[in-house]
Amino acid sequence: MRLIQDELAAAADGLQEEQLAGLVKEIQQARRVFVTGGGRSGLALRMHAMRLMHLGLTVHVVGETTTPAIGSGDLLMVASGSGTTAGAVAAAEAAVSADARVAVLTTDGESTLAGMAHSVVLIPAAQKTDHRGTASRQYSGSLFEQALLLVLDAVFHTLWKADGTPAEDLWPRHANLE
């Protein structure tokens, strides 16, 4: 636990406030928010989509059967540690072609995804193919995925506080078909 806590603290210290503020602004200005990412990154984004829905935003998870077409005024949030995940890149290309905005969360600011993005949040963590243990002693992309979840929760918290809606008013949007 101490190793994970220490690595997350170091990753948090390496985040750039202006990048996080840029992501918050993108979400606030979006007509609708779409999220996508592979594997554990995608799971973190699904959790974030739920919280955005609690705020009353219109949010969709890419790949679900009820997800509509993306278009102008919409935002696609994409997470990929490498910034080169094929499905994520294809989704970002489609979003750009549809005149939507793209926000990317990645470890690589020079990646294909970062190059297409209107907003980038660099998460200082090891990529899943870095097995040297220099950026993280954890397995594969664990630090990126953990930090991603914390970043997304911090973004939600910032949006919630800016919105000013009391928690009691968000609760009726919480799932009741569990």
* Residues tagged active-site: 145
> CA–CA separation, 23 vs 155, rounded Å?
8
Q: Are 27 and 53 in contact (CB under 8 A)?
A: no
Q: Could you give the C-alpha distances from 136 to 9, 82, 123, 127, 171, in angstroms and in order?
A: 12, 15, 13, 9, 37
Query: SS3 for 52-87, per residue?
Result: HHHCCCCEEECCCCCCCCCCCCCEEEEECCCCCCHH
DSSP 158: H
Pick from 39, 37, 35, 62: which is nearest to 49 by CA?
Answer: 35
Task: Name 113's Cβ contacts closer than 8 Å, sequence gap at least 6.
Answer: 78, 80, 83, 84, 85, 88, 89, 92, 102, 104, 106
